[in-house]
Structure 1
Amino acid sequence: MKRLLTIALIAVASVANAQNTSKQEVTPELVEQRESLKKEITADYLALKTNLVTSDSVVATISAKSLAGALNKFKFKKLTLDQMNLATTTRKEIIDLANEIAATKNINKQRKAFATLSEKFWTIAAKIKPMDLPLYQQVCPMTGEVWLSDSKEIENPYYPKNMLTCGEVKASL
Structure 2
Amino acid sequence: MLFLLGAALSVGSLSAQSGSMNQMLNDYLVVKEALVKGDVKQASTGAGQLVATITTVDLATLSETDKKAFSAVSAELLKQAQVIAGAKEVEKQRAGLAALSQQLWPLVKGSDAIGRTVFYDYCPMKQSYWLSAEVAIRNPFYGSQMLGCGKVDDKINE
Per the shorter chain, which TM-score range? Answer: 0.7 to 0.9
Q: Which amino acid aligns with 1:77?
A: S
CA distance in 1, matches of 2:112, 2:48: 19
Q: Indicate the residue corresponding to 2:26 in structure 1.
A: 43
- Within the candidate set 134, 139, 143, 2:126 is matched to 143
SS in 2 for 1:152: coil
Task: Indicate conservation of the 8 Å contact 1:39/1:129, yes or no.
Answer: no
Q: Which amino acid aligns with 1:147?
A: W
Q: Indicate the residue corresponding to 1:94 in structure 2.
A: 77
Q: Taking structure 1 as the reference length, what is the TM-score of the superposition?
A: 0.76
Cα distance, 1:88 vs. partner?
1.2
CA distance in 2, matches of 1:79, 1:40: 17
Matched, 1:77 2:63: yes
Q: Indicate the residue corresponding to 2:153 in structure 1.
A: 170
CA distance in 2, matches of 1:128, 1:114: 20
Q: Which amino acid aligns with 2:65?
A: L
Range moving further from structure 2, 30-39 or 100-109 = 30-39
User: Unaligned 5+ residue runs, structure 1?
Assistant: 1-25
CA distance in 2, matches of 1:62, 1:129: 28
SS in 2 for 1:105: coil
Per-residue CA deviation, residues 99-156 of structure 1 (Å, 9 max, x unaligned), is 1111122111111111111111112113457543111100012221100001110000
Query: Residues 15-164 of structure 1: matches in 2 within 5 Å?
Result: 27-74=10-57, 75=59, 76-79=62-65, 84=68, 87-128=70-111, 130-164=113-147
Task: Indicate conservation of the 8 Å contact 2:33/2:140, yes or no.
Answer: yes
CA distance in 2, matches of 1:55, 1:43: 18
Task: Indicate conservation of the 8 Å contact 2:21/2:108, yes or no.
Answer: no
Task: Indicate conservation of the 8 Å contact 1:38/1:129, yes or no.
Answer: no
SS in 1 for 2:153: strand
Alignment length (residue pairs): 145
Task: Indicate conservation of the 8 Å contact 2:108/2:114, yes or no.
Answer: no
Q: Taking structure 2 as the reference length, what is the TM-score of the superposition?
A: 0.83
